[in-house]
Amino acid sequence: MFRPLTAAATALATLFGAATALAAEVNVYTTRQPELIQPIFDAFTAESGIKVNVLYAEKGLIERMKAEGDRSPADLYMTADVSNVKAATDAGLTQPHGNATVGDIVPAELRDEAGHWFALTTRARVAYVSKERVAEGEVTTFEDLADPKWKGRICTRPGSHSYNLALISAVIAHHGEEAAKTWVEGLRDNLARKPQGNDRAQVKAVWAGECDIAIGNTYYMGQMLADPEQVPWAESVRVVFPTFEGGGAHVNISGAALTRSAPNKAEAEKLIDFLLSPAAQELYAGLNHEYPVRAGVPASELVQSWGSFTPDTIGLTKIGSLRGEALRIVEETQFDLGPNS
């Protein structure tokens, strides 16, 4: 386990073992929960003999790497949401990876053009709709969610959350900032309550009859089905993949970036190769109820049971660059105050 940062380089060497051992190690900073990634690292160590040291934190890792500077022991930064990997890159904390195969495996829209970050898996942002109160085919596009016919029938977490900011950024990318603001106002007016809670809380609200449509990420369906208390929530809804008019379904990523300091760069690049291998892609995506980025690697049977979709092709670099505009729209429309604000 990692301990808090110390000032001395000798102390850093102590944290990660003797210098002679570092060549067989790689250090990962991650916001992903340990139980979701440790099996992957165990498999990598078994195959390569390289030990993986993991520092997990829900937030604050970018600030930590900034404070550590060139003394940072981090080799690889793994996180969810394009805004996080892009923020690390924008802060000068990453470097281009040296893996030519990444460009062959990861679609262009799911990686940084200069090679600073890339997707490991994808997830779709979908509508969880009531099986009882929303007819088949009644929800088809994201644009339609702002139609007054849904007034008082939609639940979502706060618009200022990164998942919704990415969605709003995608609306801006498709239709421009002014149209996106109008869309956010319409969605706000259709909310059944003030935005609150996480994505599963929105599905629970559908189950409880508070709303008929919940906006959430696909993998939460897998998490709910694994929890006996939440199974009824999951069974009360079906997954719908709305598309953008003239586009596809909105997706986001879990991704990785090679850090600027990377004391174990060669080992980190070996880990990158492993994470994109067919076996690791299947295992990682299956553990997280997400979609592999490598072509030819199937999603789990459970994930496939939710239906198929065509991903939007607007690059996530562009979506990540629009985060500031999306946040401004959320604030200007007072979205997080709820309907009638």
pLDDT digits over 56-73, tens only? 999 999 999 999 999 999
- Beta-bridged to residue 239, according to DSSP, are 128
The structural domain count of the chain equals 2
Task: Assign 284 to helix, strand or coil.
Answer: helix
pLDDT of residue 99: 75
96 and 130 in a single domain? The answer is no
Q: Is residue 66 part of a domain?
A: yes
Task: Return d(Cα 179, Cα 259) in angstroms, integer.
Answer: 37
Are 45 and 87 members of one domain?
Answer: yes
Is 272 found in the same domain as 196? no
145 and 202 assigned to the same domain: yes
Residues 94 and 130 in one domain: no
In this structure, what DSSP letter does residue 262 have? -
The answer to whether residues 208 and 290 belong to one domain is no
Is residue 112 located within the same domain as residue 237? no
In a shared domain, residues 223 and 328:
yes
Q: Are residues 42 and 113 in the same domain?
A: yes
Query: What is Dmax (Cα atoms) for the chain?
Result: 66
Q: What is the pLDDT of residue 6?
A: 37
Pair 114, 91: CB distance under 8 Å: no
Is residue 127 one of the residues assigned to a domain?
A: yes
Model pLDDT, residue 231? 98
- Tell me whether residue 3 is in a domain: no
Residues 147, 29 share a domain? no
Cβ atoms of residues 90 and 257 within 8 Å: no
Pick from 92, 50, 48: which is nearest to 69 by CA?
92
Residue 40, domain CATH = 3.40.190.10
Instruction: Let me know if residue 222 belongs to a domain.
Output: yes
In a domain, 162, yes or no: yes
Nearest to 299, CA basis, from 312, 283, 316: 283
Identify whether 117 is part of a domain.
yes
Residue labelled with tokens 């790689």: 26
Per the structure, the complete domain to which residue 328 belongs is given by 123-250+308-337
In a domain, 39, yes or no: yes
Pair of tokens at residue 209: 């009859």
- Residue 2 placed within a domain: no
Q: Does residue 187 share a domain with residue 98?
A: no
Same domain, 259 and 322: no
Q: Which residues in the chain show pLDDT less than 70? A: 1-23
Tokens encoding 206: 């559908």
Q: What is the pTM of this model?
A: 0.89
